[in-house]
Chain A
Amino acid sequence: MNPALLLPKFLFDGLFLGSYYGLIALGIAIIFGILKVGDVAQGGLFALGAYLTYTTVETLGLNYFWAPAVVLPATAGLSVLYGTTIYRKLRKNGIAATFLGAVSLLLIIQSLLAVGYGERVKTIESPLVPASVNVGGASIYSHKILVILVTAAVASLVWYGVRKTTWGRSLRALSQNYEIAVMSGINPTVTVGVAFALAGGLAGFSGFLTAPVYSITPFTGRLTVLKAFVVSRIGGGSVPAVLGLALALGLSESLTSAYFLGELSNLIPFLLLIGVALFRPGVLGPEERTWIESSKVEGESSAFPTFDGYLTLLLPAVFLIPVLVDLPAYFTDLGITVAALSSGVMSVDLLYGYVGLPSLVQGAFFGVGAYAATTVIVETGGGLALALLVAVVSASVLGAVVGVMGLRAGRHWTSFTFIMTIVFTVVATNLVSLTGGPGGIPGITEVFIRLPVLGRVDLNPFTSRWSFYLIVASVFAILFWLKGLIVRSRFGHSLEAIREDERLAESIGIPVGRYKLVAFTISAAVAGIGGALYAGYTTYINPEMFNFVTSFRFLMMDRIGGVGTPLGPVVGPLLITLLEDLTEPLNSYLGQIIFSGALIVTLAWLPGGIVGLAGRVLSKFFPGGNAGGTAEERGGE
């Protein structure tokens, strides 16, 4: 069959894709003007719209076209609710905090959908008759044509609203200069409220429109909202530009997917954004004021337990407890999991806590380490030492590459790393020969290590549990001490100076770019090791296990545990793993909801996380002493 004959089909597919991308992108652009952040939670509202449509049709038995009456109030209402409460609070703490809050909300909404509707895929049929029409010799779904036409109508309305109404003028004024707009009499509450309602409505409406076309899952919309975000940023504040770009993107995706690249066509918008961002980093948004408050000290300059004294170096000894007391297997399992995760969290902490750059790509390096280790052990029969070495090297190399690009992204680090994670996941999912694609590859079943005197020692994690456990604990201890050394060194102190004021740091001779790159490479290496440890313990791995949710979880664990402290990156994963184990029997998504919510709480009210909170509580009982390391210890001479 001549592929050219299908061209009309791919063109309409492209227009269809572009249409609903465009609708969501419009909503995101509208909010971005006020919030200066990409509201990725709209992806959750998109999914909600699809699900409510399903409920309307299947549960309530109504005609498909009644669904907007259910969808719109729900998604618009929810958008206004979280927009005027959560975002308003987070916005005061900076752009990075707001963006992380948006990601948390996305996860919460989608997890709630998973809890409410279950994970199994749902489908509904388009009510249109005939279901397909013949255009230019190809068979096109009528529903897709409907979506294209409806989008054109809705987009025109939005354009009219933004350009010609009082509300639209107020919105544009607030987007350009918030303070002056308010001072000239514009009511921000109403304008912002309407903006969120409109955006939420657009997202939900897109979900409604596409429900009969795609299968409905709680996680639908994640990739879509990110593509829409890209479109909204490059298109800027102009409705025709955003919509035009969306259509162009849809078409290029459809055509390249059909004729050249398959799934990799998903990468196009992100590569485009990265390309533009390398020339104009401003396309990622305004600069992120990434440091809110250090976990270490707030308010008075002394008398605050900081838990970063030399006593904390003893922490790894805790891992000996299950061995000495002969605790049940659960505890060694927990220990291995926490050690592996903590490595990932430490890697985030190095950047987030010390350089002041919240980083959302460590999950990918974790994955690289996992895959490297698995490949070495399973394919080549190498030992654990070799596996760790390959993991470190591959993660570091990739880390350096991303780091160099990241230097260009500057203070848009959070958004940039977020995009990179998506790129990694899509690429990894498609490099089937290397990664086994979505199906993954079987995990490590036999691990051995060559020790100097003992020779080859087999460490099957499932049969000789102490040996594997102790190896993992030892590797963790080394990483823990290494991180401690780094942050106490002059290099570490220079990183903190970069966090405090990058320009000033540069002006006193600190090689800012170079140091950031080194920090980023070390961080990637540490994450890679964590991944290698993790791979030794799971039965199989696939790229989705190292996607942005993983990266986000690391960051979440760091923030909740206490960013920028030695203990935080261990306390965080420990707490979260324990509580997830507790809630899993109820529902496997409950943990995600709780912790995403906890992250929002932490971002808004508890900058120091658990460790910071503990410190503050303890300082009430032990005022006047300094339980942690002093400035002199850290400054060094």
Chain B
Amino acid sequence: MSEILRVEGLSKEFGGLTAVDGVNLTVNGGKIVGLVGPNGAGKTTLFNLISGFLAPSSGDMYFRGKRINRWSVRRRVLAGITRTFQKSRVFPGFSVRENVLTAAHGSGGGGEFYDEKDDFLDWLLGTTKLAGYGDRHARDLSFSYRRRLELTIAVATRPELLLLDEPFGGTGVGDLSDLSRLLQLLRDEGMTLLLVEHNISAVAGIADRLIYMEKGRLRIPNG
């Protein structure tokens, strides 16, 4: 599979604090990569850099071989990079269906994955088990449904590379296996997923690769 994301010598400093310190990372397409590590390791900052919410202090980022350092968030989304947030974000005043439609409208994304899906959105709502909730207002959703909606919104932007920030956070046992299966399904369809997670067992169960991050640096496990 070809290389989707490559990061070289990526660093981010805030005043005196180095949050991300010379990170080198290559991710190939169609894989689930888990990024684990203690709090304050710089994982979310790394996400912010890759998704365009923060500009790097130094280093380069390449998506499908193109240098994206100066790309706006919007441009990255249109190119196929989407991220979620640690604290689930939805559009509270919109219905579930409107939430998803808004995300689908804003973007282009890419990949053959989508060309074959007729009625992509119906498929999406079905896959994330939100089909019956189309008219429910997002603010009325329970926590686990909100999480599902958050993921649905992200996938509705038709990403090739999906950055998920703690998708298993606070998830109960039943939903955990549902979510795991869903992420694997997306991966099997060709999407690349990069997960930041504290729940190591959950992510280890589905990840093709685990990376450990601490104090702004990646530590590649031996062997």
Residues of A within 8 A of B94 (CB): 496-497, 500, 631
Residues of A within 8 A of B105 (CB): 490, 493-494
Ordered nearest first, which 4 A-B pairs have the shortest CB separation? A509-B77, A500-B91, A509-B106, A504-B89
The 8 sampled A-B contact pairs (Cβ below 8 Å) are A296-B93, A301-B135, A301-B140, A493-B101, A494-B106, A497-B91, A504-B90, A507-B82
What separation, in Å, do the CA atoms of A288 and B123 have in the docked complex? 38
Are the C-beta atoms of A503 and B89 separated by less than 8 Å? yes
Are the C-beta atoms of A507 and B101 separated by less than 8 Å? no
Residues of A within 8 A of B93 (CB): 291, 294, 296-297, 496, 499-500
What separation, in Å, do the CA atoms of A509 and B136 have in the docked complex? 24
Given A297-B93, A494-B102, A500-B91, 5 extra CB contacts under 8 A = A500-B93, A505-B102, A507-B73, A507-B84, A635-B98
What separation, in Å, do the CA atoms of A511 and B107 have in the docked complex? 11
Quick one: which of B153-187 are within 8 Å of A by CB? Answer: 153-154, 156-157
Shortest distance between the CB of A22 and any CB in chain B (Å): 34
Residues of B within 8 A of A501 (CB): 89-92
Residues of B within 8 A of A496 (CB): 91, 93-94
B95 in contact (CB, < 8 A)? yes
What separation, in Å, do the CA atoms of A504 and B152 have in the docked complex? 13
Quick one: which of B51-88 are within 8 Å of A by CB? Answer: 51, 53, 72-74, 77-78, 82-85
Quick one: which of A292-333 are within 8 Å of B by CB? Answer: 294, 296-297, 301-302
What separation, in Å, do the CA atoms of A631 and B135 have in the docked complex? 8
Q: A496-B93, A497-B91, A500-B93 are in contact. Are A637 and B153 (CB under 8 A)?
A: no
Residues of A within 8 A of B72 (CB): 511
Quick one: which of A475-504 are within 8 Å of B by CB? Answer: 490, 493-494, 496-497, 499-501, 503-504
Residues of B within 8 A of A121 (CB): none
B23 in contact (CB, < 8 A)? no
What separation, in Å, do the CA atoms of A499 and B135 have in the docked complex? 19
A581 in contact (CB, < 8 A)? no
B103 in contact (CB, < 8 A)? yes
Q: A301-B136, A494-B102 are in contact. Are A508 and B95 (CB under 8 A)?
A: no
What separation, in Å, do the CA atoms of A490 and B103 have in the docked complex? 11
**A506 contact from B74, B95, B136, Cβ within 8 A:** B74
Are the C-beta atoms of A508 and B77 separated by less than 8 Å? yes
Shortest distance between the CB of A488 and any CB in chain B (Å): 13
Residues of B within 8 A of A631 (CB): 94-95, 97-98, 135
A630's nearest neighbour on chain B, judged by CB, is: B135
Q: A497-B91, A500-B94 are in contact. Are A510 and B135 (CB under 8 A)?
A: no
B137 in contact (CB, < 8 A)? yes
Shortest distance between the CB of B117 and any CB in chain A (Å): 16
What separation, in Å, do the CA atoms of A314 and B92 have in the docked complex? 31
Shortest distance between the CB of A300 and any CB in chain B (Å): 8
Shortest distance between the CB of B137 and any CB in chain A (Å): 5
**B74 contact from A301, A510, A632, Cβ within 8 A:** A510
Main SS at interface, chain B: mixed
Q: A301-B140, A490-B105, A503-B85 are in contact. Are A509 and B97 (CB under 8 A)?
A: no
What separation, in Å, do the CA atoms of A296 and B95 have in the docked complex? 12
Quick one: which of A503-529 are within 8 Å of B by CB? Answer: 503-511
Are the C-beta atoms of A507 and B77 separated by less than 8 Å? yes
Are the C-beta atoms of A506 and B102 separated by less than 8 Å? no
Are the C-beta atoms of A504 and B95 separated by less than 8 Å? no
Residues of B within 8 A of A503 (CB): 85, 89
Shortest distance between the CB of B77 and any CB in chain A (Å): 3
What separation, in Å, do the CA atoms of A413 and B154 have in the docked complex? 29
Residues of A within 8 A of B77 (CB): 507-509
Shortest distance between the CB of B212 and any CB in chain A (Å): 26
B95's nearest neighbour on chain A, judged by CB, is: A631
What separation, in Å, do the CA atoms of A634 and B97 have in the docked complex? 12
Residues of A within 8 A of B53 (CB): 507
Quick one: which of B89-146 are within 8 Å of A by CB? Answer: 89-95, 97-98, 101-103, 105-107, 135-137, 140
B108's nearest neighbour on chain A, judged by CB, is: A509
A500's nearest neighbour on chain B, judged by CB, is: B91
Are the C-beta atoms of A504 and B91 separated by less than 8 Å? yes
Are the C-beta atoms of B92 and A500 separated by less than 8 Å? yes
Q: A507-B73, A508-B103, A631-B95 are in contact. Are A297 and B89 (CB under 8 A)?
A: no
Q: A493-B102, A500-B92, A635-B98 are in contact. Are A508 and B135 (CB under 8 A)?
A: no
Are the C-beta atoms of A635 and B78 separated by less than 8 Å? no
Q: Mark A597-637, 1 if CB is under 8 A from B, else 0.
A: 00000000000000000000000000000000001101101
Residues of B within 8 A of A511 (CB): 72, 74
Are the C-beta atoms of A302 and B78 separated by less than 8 Å? no
Residues of B within 8 A of A634 (CB): 98
B77's nearest neighbour on chain A, judged by CB, is: A509
Shortest distance between the CB of B42 and any CB in chain A (Å): 19
Q: A294-B93, A509-B107, A631-B98 are in contact. Are A302 and B135 (CB under 8 A)?
A: yes
